[in-house]
Structure 1
Amino acid sequence: MFDNIRSDFRAHGRDWGAQGFWVMIVYRFGQWRYKVRPQLLRRLCSLTYKILFKLVQIITGIELPCEAIVGRNFVIDHFGGIIVSGYARFGDNCRIRNGVVVGLRRIEEPSAPVIGNNVDIGAGAKLLGPIRIGDNSVIGANAVVLVDVPENSIAIGVPAIIKPRRSSSLDLHDH
C-alpha cells in the first residue's frame, strides 16, 4: 500500500494538496483492507474506509471505489464531477480530468470500460459500457464513447468519432 501511495504522490506532482492524491490514498487503503486479518480488524478497517470514501467524495466530488482496478501512476488532474464505476479497469499511466464518467451503459448490464495504458481522458468525457480503450489513446473533452477505441487513436465528439492519432512530427508539418 505505501509503495503505491508514494508512487501516487509522485504522479500528482508531490503536491499534498492535490485532491486527486487524497482520493488515491483512500482508494489504496480500501484495497489494502481486504488483506487485513483477523476479520474483526478487517471490519473496523472497512468501516473506516466507508467513512473516508464518503468524506473524500463530498470534499472532492470524486467517486473512485476500491473495487475499480487502477494501474500505476493514475492521475486525477482536476477535481469535481468524476465518477468511476467499480467495474472499471485502468492500465498504467492514465490521466482523467473533471467531469469524467467511466461507467455502466445500462444498469442491467454490469460492465464498464477497460482502459489500456497511457490513456489521457479529457474533461467532461463519458466512457460507458463494456468497451475497450486501447493503449496510447486520447479521449477528447466532452466526448461520449460507446464503442471500442483501438490503440493509438483519438476519440472526439458526441457520439465519439474514432481517428488514428497522428505522430507529433506530422502535427508540426500539417500546420
Structure 2
Amino acid sequence: MYDYKFSDVNLTTWALFRLTCSAMQKVAERKLAKLGLTPEQVDVLWICRDYPDTLIPAEIARLISREEQTVTGLLNRMEREGLLKRVPKRKGKPFTEVKITDKGTEAAGAGVEVAMSLITEIMSILSAPEHEELQRLLQVLQRKTAELLQVELVLKDYSLEETITAPR
C-alpha cells in the first residue's frame, strides 16, 4: 500500500478512505471465495437469515445500499445456486418475497463466521475510544452523503426538459 499525501487534505483523506475500503473488500473477497461466496452474497444471506420481517428485493437493495436491478441479478444467481428462493406474489401479499433455503442457511452460517472473524481481526486493532471516534466521524460522512443522495434523487425526479421547454 502507498502512503498517499496530497496537497489537498480532502483528497488525502478521501484516497485513504477509499483505498482502505477497497483493501478490506479485497481481503473479504479472498477469504469468502474459499467458501464459494462473495461478500455481497454473504450480506444477502445474513439479512435473509436474521431479518425479523418479510423480505422483498427492494428492501434487500435498501439494506445493502445497492440499486434494485443489481440486487435482482444477485438474487437470480443465488436462486440458481439454491441459496434462496423467491415466492411469487400471492393474494394479500403485493410483492415477491425472498426466502433463504436450507443450503442458504448453511452457507450463511459459514459466511458470517468468516466475515465476523475478519471484521474482528481488522477492527480489534482499534481501542474503544478509537472505535467511538471513528464511528462518530463516519456518521458525519454518512449524513452528508445521505443528504447528497437525497438531492440526487430529487433531481432525478425533476424533469429538466420540462423546465427548458416551459413557456416564459
State the TM bucket, normalised to the shorter chain: under 0.3
Q: TM-score, normalised by structure 1?
A: 0.27
Specify which structure has the higher proportion of helix: 2
Q: TM-score, normalised by structure 2?
A: 0.28
Specify which structure has the higher proportion of strand: 1
Larger Rg: 2
Q: Which has the higher contact order (CA 8 A, sep 6+)?
A: 2
